[in-house]
Amino acid sequence: AQTVTQSQPEMSVQEAETVTLSCTYDTSESNYYLFWYKQPPSRQMILVIRQEAYKQQNATENRFSVNFQKAAKSFSLKISDSQLGDTAMYFCAFTDSGGGADGLTFGKGTHLIIQP
């Protein structure tokens, strides 16, 4: 069974700083997909970024980028120029490529606080 581990329960940084959230996973699959979701106080789950394991290039979305290390099974999220609106729970999630029907396996989340 796949597992996803987020080792940082909570992080706090100053506005405009760069912050990196860690995620490791365990799988025997060779092809799979990794995601970072953001959950603000409203509790709506919002996709931040997506990475396909067969792509070596790290995904980027504006201020958000990932460092995907397949051999190390590591998938960290970097937030540049952090903003107050980035305050939220961040979840790392995994799914294999099995026809797209399988659900996501989530880590327990990191509570990120951006201080003014």
Partner 1 sequence: SQTIHQWPATLVQPVGSPLSLECTVEGTSNPNLYWYRQAAGRGLQLLFYSVGIGQISSEVPQNLSASRPQDRQFILSSKKLLLSDSGFYLCAWTKAGGPADTQYFGPGTRLTVL
Site of interaction with partner 1 (CB under 8 A): 4, 32-33, 35, 37, 42-47, 50, 52, 91, 93, 95-109
- Contact call for residues 113 and 87 (beta carbons, < 8 A): yes
Among residues 103 and 116, whose Cβ is nearest to partner 1?
103
Q: How far is the CB of 7 from partner 1 (least distance, A)?
A: 13
Report angle CA 18, 22, 104 to the nearest 5 degrees.
Answer: 120
Among residues 55 and 63, whose Cβ is nearest to partner 1?
55
Among residues 13 and 104, whose Cβ is nearest to partner 1?
104
- CB atoms near residue 97 (< 10 Å): 14
Amino acid at the residue 9: P
